[in-house]
Amino acid sequence: MTVLGDVPAPKQAKTSTLALENRPKTWGELVGQPIPVTVLVNSLALGDIKPGYVFTGTTGTGKTSAAILLAKRLNCEAPNLVTQDPCNVCHSCLTVDRGTNFDVKFVDGAADRSIEFVRSTLKPFLTTAPRGKCRVVIIDEAHQYGKDAISAFLTLLENMPRFAGKSVVIMTTTEGDKMASAILNRCMNLHFSAIPNDMLADKMAVYTGEDRAALALLAQESGNSFRTMWSYIEVWQHLGEPLTNDVVMKLIGGVGESERKAMWSDLSNKKVDRIGDRWRKWLQTGARPEVIGALLIRDLISWAAAVPATMDWHKPLVMLSGAEQVGSDNAWLQALYLMVGL
């Protein structure tokens, strides 16, 4: 095992995450989102820029990356007019990346959601002529805006000024169903789909050079999220071990397939003492109850689909699902004990 003392001190402290360091710089790098990318690129080519955009989708699908790309392209000093990519080297692009561009404001919708914020901060920002080409506000988790703030926001959207450049609001949210219909009706809505596991694994295989099968498993456990997978990769880089299926289980707080099969064997053979000992051992080595439980439920569903007539799969699934709803360590263990009697 590599110990901390064996690692040479970095020349400069690292202050950003892999997810931020590897954020897409071009539309072609925005993996797994062909429809939003095509719509945005074609809109830019036609000069058809809307005052408001809403990007919906689960975590880590590229919503914020697309918003930043759009903000950079709208303000870029030397954009590629064929691909509609920002140049990524001009002062405007670099300052957007650093979060210091005067014409691009990032807003946390969970914190800055009051009507006062809309009126006192967003309105003056969007109704003042830009220093560069375009004023852009990017609002994360915009569904959290209240009714009064939404009303003020609608008034702002409907009365956006038309400068030589435009003022644009880009809202991102993981809960598009909670966005006010009045806002959705006044914006271009683009949904960012869950990224296929094979695309995630391919991207990370290029970056890490590690085993493709292990990366595919990690992609599956990352919930189709680039952000989550980058977080796992960042932790793995400090483990000092090759990326294998067992290491993936270690990263997510789970247990490997062979260990789970041993648990199922204990359940089948009604070895109650072994069940408890095995569960406690898993927890002592860093596994998380909710992750183990989810893996056990997945095992059952997989076996039920493969051999549906071999046993009554409904009862154990109900027991484990009940434990999942309770969520405590004891609930999972109690469910396993109850399954011995089936």
pLDDT digits (tens, 9 = 90+) for 263-302: 888 888 888 889 889 999 999 988 998 898 889 888 888 8
Which of 13 and 89 is assigned the larger pLDDT? Answer: 89
Res 36 pLDDT > 70:
yes
Q: What is the pLDDT of residue 151?
A: 76
pLDDT higher than threshold 60 for residue 127? yes
Q: Which residue has the higher pLDDT, 35 or 269?
A: 35
Q: What is the pLDDT of residue 14?
A: 60
Element (H, E) at 293: helix 289-306
Q: Which residues contact 153 (CB under 8 A, 6 or more apart)?
A: 118, 122, 145, 183
**Mean pLDDT, the chain, integer:** 86
pLDDT above 90: residue 19? no
Query: What pTM value is reported for the model?
Result: 0.82
Q: Could you give the residue ranges of the DSSP H alpha helices within 48-99? A: 63-75, 91-98
| 9 pLDDT above the threshold of 60 | no
The three-state secondary structure class of 86 is coil
Reference 163, options 134, 189, 183, 192; nearest CA is 134
pLDDT class of 113 with cuts at 50, 70, 90: confident
pLDDT of residue 309: 58
Q: How far, in Å, CA of 80 to CA of 86, rounded?
A: 6
57-66, 92-101, 243-252, 311-320: least confident range = 311-320
Unique residue bearing structure tokens 């109690």: 334
**pLDDT for 192:** 96
- The pLDDT of residue 7: 44
Q: How many alpha carbons lie under 13 Å from residue 167 in its C-beta half-sphere?
A: 20
> Residue 53: what pLDDT?
94
For the cut 90, the answer to whether the pLDDT of residue 44 exceeds it is: yes
What's the pLDDT score for residue 326?
75
Of the candidate ranges 117-131, 155-169, 182-196, the one whose mean pLDDT is the lowest:
155-169
